[in-house]
Amino acid sequence: MKVELYKEFQKYIAKSNYKDELRRVMVYVVSLIHQNKLHPSDIETQILGNHLSEMVNRAKNGKKLEKVDKKIFAKVSQQSLEMSQQVVDFIDNNIGKIAESEKYVLSIHFENMKLD
């Protein structure tokens, strides 16, 4: 199945030092969004694109996002957390290791898409 990337994602890929890696992550994320029947707005894809770009940069450079208080994310749905974990696992397995806290911060993007 061919996945068409959002225009906002394409802009981040064009500016990235890790174009191939970021494209793979973004294709994966778009497929997850479609599978979960989410419909992000343009601003949500722009913000998500920035976060994914930064995640790939951290994975490639060995930098870690600071720890977060998991209690803050207690009201985030299981669906959003699972989607985020899938993205973190994809990056861990294909690009480089990232911090567990990425899952929680990323989950907010998917949660916001559910509220639209």
pLDDT, one tens digit per residue, over 54-69 is 999 999 999 999 999 9
Q: Which domains does the chain have, with CATH numbers?
A: 7-115 (1.10.1790.10)
3-state secondary structure of 15: helix
pLDDT score recorded for residue 60: 97
DSSP state of 76: S
Query: What does residue 12 show for φ and ψ, rounded to 5 degrees?
Result: -65, -40
Tell me the CA end-to-end span of the chain in Å, nearest whole number. Answer: 26
pLDDT score recorded for residue 114: 82
Say which amino acid occupies 52: L
Query: What is the pTM assigned to this prediction?
Result: 0.93
pLDDT score recorded for residue 116: 58
Average pLDDT of the chain, as a whole number: 94
pLDDT score recorded for residue 57: 97
CB proximity list for 49: less than 8 A, separation 6 or greater? 6, 8, 9, 11, 12, 26
CA Rg, the chain, in Å?
13
pLDDT tens per residue across span 10-33: 999 999 999 999 999 999 999 999
